[in-house]
Amino acid sequence: MDTRQMIAGNGAAAWGARLARAEIIPNFPITPQTAIIEEIASWIASGEMDADFLPMESEHSVISALAAASSAGTRVFSATSSQGLMLMTEMMFVTSGLRLPVILINVSRGLSAPITLWSDHNDVLVQRDSGWLQMFCSNNQEVLDSVVMGYKIAENSEVLLPMMINLDGFTLSATREPVEIPGQEVIDDFLPAYNPKHTILDPKEPMSMGGAVFDEYMYFRSQQRMAMQNSKNVITDVCAEWEKMTGRGWGGGLIEPYCLEDSERALMICGSESATLKYTVDKLRAKGEKVGMLRLRTMRPFPCEEIVDALSGVEEIGVIDQDISPGSGGIIATEVKACLGRSVTSFIAGLGGRRIGAEKYEKIFGRLGRDVEEWIF
């Protein structure tokens, strides 16, 4: 039976792993994700969740344990943030190269130095070329839903890639919202037990994985890219199935259009800031302004065709990046410009959790129409 509770984003992520029946939970604590694993550890200790909790000595060890356990055919889960994700980088490429359907939560937090505990998206976007699927959540309900759907997407035989699910630190991770928690029997019907069709590690039949190759290396990378392209249809299909079951489709999977049908001006964004931007869109539309929003749900695969289609009738487009690539600009804006092949106004805002707010969004809408980069302080 479904229940409705007030829980924080960290709790929603933990519930997603519990409902998905994750079996191996390695972790190393780092703010602001630690509460996810504390919640899971308490369930395991009380017998409410049947899983093994593995305290590790570092985040590099966490991702190594995730890869090893997934290679043995188990469903795995963990979470990290910021500098912890940076320490995982070496093994992020290994995990995707081995085609392991690992689910990892990243509770985004600005990278040091200087040190901040608040959110921006540089930590997750540093990993955009690692071969992981990347999904951004706008609220706590989407966090829970995305974890469960994530396993069904990543474990699909046409995909077999790890997925990183991002929620904004503190803005979501520590903020309580009403969240519907599906009954376990409902999730068990939606997400059967993990039954890998590929060869898995077995101590009775020793073997090596990820061995050395030479000319064949390019073939393996092409297969990885093909799997990423395949994931677009799988994400769309799984989200459609989830919407039929729960009524929540999250825009269809890859992007979430909002008031774009007759928009003359639109802003692209990802993450929890989309809620405030939606409010701003409604406020301006009440004044007769034809504005809209496009929320990017997946950064990998990058939904270029879907973005082009959604924004085809929009005259002036802007992208809000809560990230910065020094020497280049906003990471998402750079990809959007390459995708659209037209002028896009790039806005850098919200770094280190700096508040944007509806008033600034109104000003941003007023600055569209120029192919420039602007910083919003």
**Residue 333 CB partners (closer than 8 Å, separation 6+):** 319, 321, 344, 346, 347, 373
Q: Which of 298, 179, 293 is nearest to 238 (CA)?
A: 298
Q: What is the pLDDT of residue 2?
A: 87
For residue 116, how far is the Cα from the chain centroid? 21
Q: Which residues of the chain have pLDDT under 70?
A: none
Which residue type is seen at 232?
A: K
Residue range 2-61, pLDDT digits in tens = 899 999 999 999 999 999 999 999 999 999 999 999 999 999 999 999 999 999 999 999
Contact 4, 180 (CB under 8 A): yes
Angle between helices 89-97 and 217-246 (to 10 degrees): 90
Domains in the chain (CATH in brackets) are 3-246 (3.40.50.970), 255-376 (3.40.50.920)
Residue type, 169: G
Which string of DSSP letters, residue by residue, matches 285-331? HHTT--EEEEEE-EEES--HHHHHHHTTT-SEEEEEES--BTTTB-H
User: Alpha-carbon distance 25 to 49, whole Å?
Assistant: 11
Instruction: Read off the tokens for 33.
Output: 């994700």
Q: What Rg, from alpha-carbon coordinates, does the chain have?
A: 20
> 99 Cβ partners below 8 Å, 6+ apart?
160, 161, 198, 224, 227
Q: Which pLDDT value is given to residue 204?
A: 83
For the entire predicted model, the pTM comes to: 0.96
Strands (E), the chain: 3-8, 24-27, 52-55, 77-80, 103-108, 133-136, 163-168, 176-181, 255-258, 265-269, 291-296, 298-300, 316-321, 345-349, 373-376
Let me know: does 167 contact 143? Beta carbons within 8 Å.
Answer: yes
